[in-house]
């Protein structure tokens, strides 16, 4: 049973403001490199990119944890949600490693990409968490598109629809005779769920910014009124 209708699965979010456009632009640049390097080698693409996709949840979770400690306040479920996302992405990796073995060059690429991406995302989340969540959400939109391409290649018999790996059958509770296509379908739904969660987190941070701005404005107005009353 699918968690998404076709429309809900493929929906794209129009950037709202400068920071959203920056986040989308960063994702589009990464997509150009991924398309150039992997082309239609979807198994390899999944292995390498899932090593990157599993980073933001762990970074965001750790930084939200530290923030909750600093401010001594409830995290409203953010930490678990983000750590679950990282764990889910790692399971994508553990599944696709049964389908495609990365080349020696790809293994080197994974190490360098992790070093670069972990630090860059950490800095982004530290100084601009809203943009960081929007960036991940746009990345997940691209992941949905990539897995749709994977499905199309399987349906066109460009890739062999092999039996699903055991690890995937156990994790997603798939039927014993499930095939790779069934795995790609559930993975794609996971990516759509990450997309929606990260857009929602970015929206929540936007609302908090607006509320803070409104509060500061009303405090300034109240102070101005109090001064007028004293002068009068």
Smaller CB distance to Fe ion: residue 50 or 182?
50
**Residue closer to Fe ion, measured from CB, 56 or 130:** 56
The CB-of-20 to Fe ion minimum distance in angstroms stands at 19
Find the shortest distance in angstroms from Cβ 50 to Fe ion: 5
Calculate the alpha carbon distances from 140 to 110, 133, 191, 216 in Å.
19, 11, 6, 35
Q: How far is the CB of 79 from Fe ion (least distance, A)?
A: 18
Say if CB 185 and CB 151 are below 8 A apart: yes
Q: Which of residues 138-157 bind Fe ion (CB under 5 A)?
A: 140
How far is 178 from 75, CA to CA, in rounded Å? 38
Chain positions 122 to 141 lying near Fe ion, rule: CB under 5 A, are 140
Number of chain residues interacting with Fe ion (CB under 5 A): 7
- Residue 163, φ and ψ in degrees, nearest 5: -60, 145
178: which DSSP letter? -
Closer residue to Fe ion, CB minimum distance, 20 or 191: 191
Instruction: Give whichever of 68 and 117 is closer to Fe ion, judged by the CB atom.
Output: 117
Q: How far is the CB of 66 from Fe ion (least distance, A)?
A: 23
- Retrieve residue 181's tokens: 């296509």
- Residue 157's region, left for phi above 0, alpha for psi from -120 to 50, else beta, is left
Shortest spacing between CB 221 and Fe ion, in angstroms: 44
Closest CA to 139 of 57, 203, 79, 42: 57
Give me 85's structure tokens: 């996302």
Q: What residues between 176 and 215 interact with Fe ion by CB under 5 A?
A: 191, 194
CB of 48 to Fe ion, least distance (A): 12
Instruction: In angstroms, give the least distance from the CB of 45 to Fe ion.
Output: 11
Output 131 or 229, the one with its CB closest to Fe ion. 131
- Rg (alpha carbons) of the chain, rounded to whole number: 21
Q: Which stretch binds Fe ion (CB under 5 A): 25-33, 63-71, 91-99, 111-119?
A: 91-99
Give the Cα separation of 165 and 21 in Å (integer). 38
The total of other beta-carbon atoms located within 10 Å of residue 196's CB is 16
Residue 191's Cβ-side half-sphere holds a number of Cα atoms within 13 Å equal to: 27
From 89, 141, 182, 189, residue interacting with Fe ion (rule: CB under 5 A): 89
User: Considering only residues 29-88, where is the footprint of Fe ion by CB under 5 A?
Assistant: 50, 53
Question: How many CB atoms are located within 10 Å of the residue 21 CB?
Answer: 13
**Is residue 92 a contact residue for Fe ion (CB under 5 A)?**
yes
What residue ranges bind Fe ion (CB under 5 A)? Answer: 50, 53, 89, 92, 140, 191, 194
């Amino acid at each position: 049973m699918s968690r998404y209708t076709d429309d809900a699965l493929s929906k794209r979010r129009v950037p709202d403001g400068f920071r959203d456009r920056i986040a989308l632009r960063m994702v589009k640049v990464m997509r150009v490199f991924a398309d150039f390097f992997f082309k239609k080698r979807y198994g390899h693409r999944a292995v390498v990119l899932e090593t990157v996709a599993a980073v933001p949840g762990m970074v965001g979770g750790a930084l939200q944890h530290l923030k909750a400690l600093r401010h001594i306040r409830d995290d409203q479920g953010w930490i678990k949600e983000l750590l679950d996302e990282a764990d889910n992405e790692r399971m994508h990796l553990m599944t696709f490693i049964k389908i495609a073995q990365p080349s020696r060059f790809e293994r080197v690429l994974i190490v360098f990409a992790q070093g670069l991406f972990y630090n860059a995302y950490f800095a982004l989340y530290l100084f601009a968490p809203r943009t960081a969540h929007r960036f991940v959400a746009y990345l997940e939109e691209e992941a949905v598109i990539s897995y749709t391409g994977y499905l199309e290649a399987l349906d066109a018999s460009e890739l062999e629809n092999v039996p699903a790996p055991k690890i995937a059958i156990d994790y997603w509770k798939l039927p014993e005779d499930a095939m790779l296509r069934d795995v790609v379908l559930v993975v794609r739904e996971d990516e759509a769920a990450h997309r929606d969660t990260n857009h929602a987190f970015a929206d929540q941070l936007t609302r908090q910014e607006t509320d803070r701005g409104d509060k500061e404005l009303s405090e300034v107005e109240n102070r101005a009124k109090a001064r007028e009353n004293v002068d009068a």
